[in-house]
Amino acid sequence: MTRTGRWCRRLVDGAAWLVPGDSRDDWRREWHAEIAGYTAPARAGGAARRGLVWRVLGAAVHAAWLRWDRWRGSMWTYDLRIAVRSLLRQPAFAAVAVATLAVGIGANAAVFSAVYAVLLRPLPFPAPDRLVALTTTGPRAPQVGMESSPPDFVDWHDGASSFSAMAALSADAVAIAGTTPAEQVPGAAVTGEFFAVIGTTAARGRVLTVEDAREGAAPVVVLGDRLWARRFARAPGILGTHVTIDGVSREVVGVLPPGHAYPLDAELWIPLGFSAERLATQRGAQYLDVVARLGDGQTIERARADVATVAARLAAAHPKTNAGRSVVVRPLREVVVGDIGPSLLMLLAAAGLVLLIVCVNVAGLVLTRALGRAHETALRASLGAAPWRLIRAALTETLVLAIAGAIGGTGLAWIGARRIAALEAVSHVPLLGETRLDGTVLAATALAATVTALAVGLVPSWRTARSVRLAGAQGTTRATARGGVRGLLVAAEVALALVLVVGAVTLARSFVRMVAVPRGFEVSDRILTASLTLPEAQYLTPALRASFVERVLAGVRALPGVESAGAVFGVPLTGFGYSITVRDLDGVRQQDDPQTEKLLALRAVTPDYFTTMRIALEAGRAVGPQDVLGQPRVAVVNRAAAALLWPGADPLGHAVTLGTHLGQDDVRTGGIIVGVVDDTREGAVDRPVRPTLYVPHAQDPTSVVAIVVRGAGRTPDAAAVRAVLAGLDPDVPLFRVRTTEQLASTVVAQPRLLTALMSLFAAAALLVAGIGLYGLLAQAVAARVREIGVRRAVGATARDVAALIAAHTSRMVGLGAVVGIAASWAASSALDRFVFGRHGPDVAAYAAAVAALAGVATLAAAVPCRRALAVDPATTLRSE
Amino acid sequence: MRRMSPTVVAVLQTVAAGTVYGFEIIDRTGLPSGTVYPALARLERDGHVRSSWEDQASAFAEGRPARRHYRITAAGSRALAAALAEYRALLPLRPARTRGTP
């Protein structure tokens, strides 16, 4: 049999599932025989092959027709046709029901797709559940991304037996230069077993091996698919060529397949090895991430116990650095995703509440219809219709609504998922970019729609059943005007909506508090920050680095529209920077005790840094142009550092030394305190201010710096700054170019996203509750026209009639509000972790939510009220 | 009984010519398989055609599995005659204008 023939048989076998079971075998046999006859040698060649494929596609139509033909005759499709027709007869009702269902289902599907992408979908590596990350905790709390030291890693690697492979990596942005302009790309230096851990093989060439990490091995690099596509246009001859990375020429030995990067944003990988000297001296230098793959038959608990043994041994052998530190083994996903989980789950809960409100609302609408038809139902029942037939007809109608709502909701979710995926870059939620509607999400959506249909259908079915029972007891089927059940449903909607509105307002107020916290420097679009890294191979000496940075700044200052420019090691607002132990305080060597040691964040700054950033000088002087190499070493502290080191005393004239060499081989960082500056809040505002030591960059010239440029009244031109740098050294790229405003908004991006989505859901909830309220009031007024007319005739004023409607409205809204407030109050502790600067219920938020609700209720009641006031008593009486 | 569409009539007419299998009808009528097979299924459901499996031996001789053969029934013949008569009855209804003089 030919390849086409086999393919056609598979298609037929696939389509056979549509064919009704009793004729399926015959159907398959017929098509297989026709295909076999067709592929006989008599008909050969491309045209015949295409003809066969074309014919076999008809098999699917045939199968679908047979299924449809079978369905068409059944009672179920009869119900379906009746349901569709009766819904189309009331298009306004159908449109409102379908639209609200679409919003509820769509919101859930979109949020679930994000939850699935971030928290549930397996990472793109083989057996991803076997991947773990090793981190440490203890008094020397690790800084961001600095979890293990080279000697610790080697001891874990050699000492723990429950892993099949373990690797350390140091993720950092690296400069890649060559034929095209230099650029900075995220990369990672990885130890030999790294690719064995993540289980990725190269799409071209090979991955890095243990051999590549040995001392003296030829320098090599593995490229990620994105980088290969972007910078090398997927050149097939890339293997064996050389690229310059941070000043080192490396041979490209491999390219990874798309979507297999770890860290997720990394674009290139270079080998990481440790010299004997580093292993001997760097026990306390925690700058490595450690990942490992559990061995066959090993559990994470066994691995934990295993690693704890190693850690205890290390603590005993190296008490100075390792005492009190323990190793934490966690699934890799947990480490990748961080603490975004609760926020996403809260959003999912909020979307679930919206769907619940929608269900209650549509149930109310459907119930109104069921009541309107109670007479017909009772008649049909008394004529002998089986009760289950009547209930099935009612359920079919809600099923049609739910299916239409699910289709609309899937469309909305598709748009929503794309919007959410696009938010990864601004919100910094890992894996959010992977948000999409896949089979799992669609299956969950279908499940939600089914549950919705059942929930919505229950009430009218019950009502139908009651009509059937009442049919025996003749009459009494006229719908009651007040509609107790529907009133309760509307109250429930109000209560649920109130919970969401209270939550949204609480978060919004928290967000406002958060951005209102003074940061200690100017947040504006006039200050541009940009990073650059000098290749250490070319800028070997401190003097070379200091003079290069000074030349860059001089060039930038000469640009038109630039007011001032400075440089800093430790980019503001990015969380980047080291915390380093105080070694000497006023000449006194501090004890190496992790319990009492003092940690300072370290910044190396040029003289203009403080004025450019508008960081206020509180005492003494700032770093000056005279503070260069060879001059007495000076430093500036922020208020937090002054309070930490010399509580209650004037810090000026005191001396401090940190336990590090910063860009200089044998000189420890620190000096005489010459000034005190204001505290700056650079990370999340709910974290305490970090005690910070500023040293002159000219005395500690780091190779990594951020330049900060202040424009005269406008944003400085980034391209011009880039040109200045390119003119001095084309191989040094400028990267992470942001204004301080952009940086500050990045820090609050996640709370802002959370607040925005919660507000969206709350608005949707209010809208749906308003629709429900309006629907009920309009119906009630219509049912009471006669009563209102009689009241007007016997002397009731317009005010009395309005009061009647208002009383009816406020009964339902009041009940809902009381329940909603109680529920919000009970749930307020769940919100605490997302709220900045306060705990417990935010009373003002409750007031605002109730006010918003009252506004919506008034709007919803206005139209029915006008209609009630327009009732003409004379007309009413004549019709009596 | 519902009127038969022209495609169903074409399929039935082809079957009336003798014992045939599905792809043969496609070849003769030039209709797509997605039209011919549902038409056959409908005709069989309405009792206008009957299907049977080809003789195993003759199929084996040609080295292929047995095909499903369709044959017209007596009811099918009547329905076909009625349908064709109906179409013929349309012929005299040609608009006068097509004859020539305006």
Complete DSSP assignment for A771-784: HHHHHHHHHHHHHT
The listed range with the strongest mean pLDDT (A282-286, A326-330, A467-471, A673-677) is A673-677
Interchain CB contact of A22 with B (< 8 Å)? no
Cβ–Cβ below 8 Å for A58 and B45: no
Long-range CB contacts for residues A797-801, cutoff 8 Å, separation at least 24? A798/A869, A801/A868, A801/A869, A801/A871
Preceding omega of A20 cis (within 30 degrees of 0) = no
How, if at all, do strands A579-585 and A734-739 pair?
unpaired
Q: Which of A401-410, A426-435, A784-793, B81-90 has the weakest average pLDDT?
A: A426-435
Interchain CB contact of A62 with B (< 8 Å)? yes
> Taking the complete model, does pTM exceed 0.80, yes or no?
no
Question: Quick count: other Cβ atoms within 10 Å of Cβ A448?
Answer: 21
CA atoms lying within 13 Å on the CB side of residue A229? 9
A838-856 pLDDT, tens digit each: 777 888 999 999 999 999 9
Complete DSSP assignment for A520-544: SS--STTEEEEEEE--TTT--SHHH
Predicted confidence at residue A474, as pLDDT, reads 47
Q: How far apart are CA B55 and CA B63, in angstroms?
A: 13
Interchain CB contact of A76 with B (< 8 Å)? no
Q: How far apart are CA A111 and CA A754, in angstroms?
A: 12
Buried b (16+ CB within 10 A) or exposed e, A542-565: beebbebbbebbebbbebeebbbb
Cβ–Cβ below 8 Å for A58 and B36: yes
Q: What residue ranges in A272-405 does DSSP mark as E strands? A: 289-294, 326-331
A539-564 pLDDT, tens digit each: 888 889 999 999 999 999 999 999 99
Mean pLDDT of all residues in B58-77: 87
CB B14 within 8 A of CB B30: no
Q: How far apart are CA B76 and CA B17, in angstroms?
A: 12
Name the residue in chain A with its Cα closest to that of B68: A30
A157-170 pLDDT, tens digit each: 998 888 999 999 98
Mutation site for A-interface testing, chosen from B24, B37, B51, B67 by largest number of A Cβ within 10 Å: B37
CB A134 within 8 A of CB A294: no
Chain B positions in Cβ-Cβ contact with residue A65 (cut-off 8 Å): 37-38, 41
Chain A positions in Cβ-Cβ contact with residue B63 (cut-off 8 Å): 40
Helix or strand holding residue A735 (H, E): strand A734-739
Predicted confidence at residue A721, as pLDDT, reads 92
Q: How many helices (H) and strands (E) does chain B have?
A: 5, 3
Q: Which of B22, B41, B65 sits opposite A36 (nearest CB)?
A: B65
Is the pLDDT score of A861 beyond 70? yes
Name the residue in chain A with its Cα closest to that of B37: A62
CB A156 within 8 A of CB A329: no
Predicted confidence at residue A566, as pLDDT, reads 93
Name the residue in chain A with its Cα closest to that of B23: A34
CA A236 to the chain's CA centroid: 36
Mean pLDDT of all residues in A827-833: 84
Q: Which residue has the higher pLDDT, B69 or A747?
A: B69
Chain B positions in Cβ-Cβ contact with residue A56 (cut-off 8 Å): 33
Between the alpha carbon of residue A626 and those of residues A544, A590, B96, the distances in Å are 17, 30, 111
Residues on chain B bordering chain A, Cβ-to-Cβ distance under 8 angstroms: 21-23, 26, 32-38, 41-42, 45, 53-54, 59, 62-68
Please, which pLDDT band fits residue B62 given cuts at 50, 70 and 90? confident
Complete DSSP assignment for A175-238: EEESSSPPEEEEEEEE-TTHHHHHT---SEE----GGGGSTTPPPEEEE-HHHHHHHHTT-GGG
Is the pLDDT score of A834 beyond 90? no
Q: Over A399-452, what HEC string results?
A: HHHHHHHHHHHHHHHHHHHHHHHCCHHHHCCCCHHHCCCCHHHHHHHHHHHHHH
Chain B positions in Cβ-Cβ contact with residue A54 (cut-off 8 Å): 32-33
A738-749 pLDDT, tens digit each: 888 888 887 788
Is the pLDDT score of B97 beyond 60? no
Is the pLDDT score of A476 beyond 60? no
A23-60 pLDDT, tens digit each: 899 999 999 888 888 876 555 677 777 888 888 888 99
Share of chain A above pLDDT 70, in %: 93
Is the pLDDT score of A610 beyond 90? yes
Chain B positions in Cβ-Cβ contact with residue A61 (cut-off 8 Å): 33-34, 37-38
CA of B89 vs chain A CAs: smallest distance (Å): 31
Chain B positions in Cβ-Cβ contact with residue A52 (cut-off 8 Å): none
Predicted confidence at residue B55, as pLDDT, reads 83
A643-664 pLDDT, tens digit each: 999 998 899 999 998 876 555 5
Mean pLDDT of all residues in A591-617: 85
Mean pLDDT of all residues in A446-462: 81
Residue A56 is encoded by which pair of tokens?
A: 């076999």
Q: How far apart are CA A836 and CA A681, in angstroms?
A: 15
Between the alpha carbon of residue A313 and those of residues A155, A157, A799, the distances in Å are 10, 14, 85
Between the alpha carbon of residue A566 and those of residues A73, A611, A615, the distances in Å are 81, 9, 12
Q: Which of B33, B59, B68 sits opposite A55 (nearest CB)?
A: B33
Interchain CB contact of A316 with B (< 8 Å)? no
CA A604 to the chain's CA centroid: 34
Name the residue in chain B with its Cα closest to that of A57: B34
First to last CA, chain B: 41
ipTM: 0.86
Predicted confidence at residue A678, as pLDDT, reads 94
| Amino acid in position A338 | G
- Residues with Cβ within 8 Å of residue A543, at least 6 apart in sequence: A629, A701
Interchain CB contact of A58 with B (< 8 Å)? yes
Q: How far apart are CA A102 and CA A108, in angstroms?
A: 10
CA of A43 vs chain B CAs: smallest distance (Å): 13
Is the pLDDT score of A220 beyond 50? yes
Query: Residue A288 has what DSSP assignment?
Result: B
Interchain CB contact of A376 with B (< 8 Å)? no
Smallest CA-to-CA distance from A370 within A573, A596, A122, A86 is with A86
- Tell me what the pLDDT averaged over chain A comes to: 85
Q: Which of B22, B35, B64 sits opposite A36 (nearest CB)?
A: B64
Q: How far apart are CA A131 and CA A126, in angstroms?
A: 9
Share of chain A above pLDDT 90, in %: 24
A511-532 pLDDT, tens digit each: 888 888 888 888 889 999 998 8
C-alpha torsion A582→A588→A592→A598, nearest 10: -30
Sheet holding B68-72, edge to edge: B20-21, B68-72, B49-53
Predicted confidence at residue A483, as pLDDT, reads 58
Chain A positions in Cβ-Cβ contact with residue B64 (cut-off 8 Å): 33, 36-37, 40
Please, which pLDDT band fits residue B2 given cuts at 50, 70 and 90? low
Q: Which of A39-48, A373-382, A582-591, A651-660 has the weakest average pLDDT?
A: A39-48
Interchain CB contact of A61 with B (< 8 Å)? yes
Q: Over A135-185, what HEC string results?
A: EEECCCCCCCCCCECHHHHHHHHHHCCCEEEEEEEEEEEEEEECCCCCEEE
Smallest CA-to-CA distance from A114 within A335, A337, A264, A408 is with A337
First to last CA, chain A: 84
Residue B51 forms beta bridges with which residues? Answer: B70
Is the pLDDT score of A575 beyond 90? no
Chain A positions in Cβ-Cβ contact with residue B45 (cut-off 8 Å): 69
- Tell me what the pLDDT averaged over chain B comes to: 84
Is the pLDDT score of A325 beyond 80? no
How, if at all, do strands B20-21 and A704-711 pair?
unpaired
- Residues with Cβ within 8 Å of residue A312, at least 6 apart in sequence: none
CA of A32 vs chain B CAs: smallest distance (Å): 8
Name the residue in chain B with its Cα closest to that of A56: B33
Q: Which of B33, B42, B67 sits opposite A59 (nearest CB)?
A: B33
Q: How far apart are CA A523 and CA A741, in angstroms?
A: 5
Mutation site for B-interface testing, chosen from A2, A23, A43, A61 by largest number of B Cβ within 10 Å: A61
Mutation site for A-interface testing, chosen from B29, B55, B64, B69 by largest number of A Cβ within 10 Å: B64
Q: Which of B34, B38, B64 sits opposite A37 (nearest CB)?
A: B64
Helix or strand holding residue B42 (H, E): helix B33-45
A683-719 pLDDT, tens digit each: 767 777 888 999 999 988 888 888 999 998 888 998 9
Q: Where are the alpha helices (DSSP H) in A541-662?
A: 542-557, 609-613, 639-645
Chain A positions in Cβ-Cβ contact with residue B22 (cut-off 8 Å): 30, 34
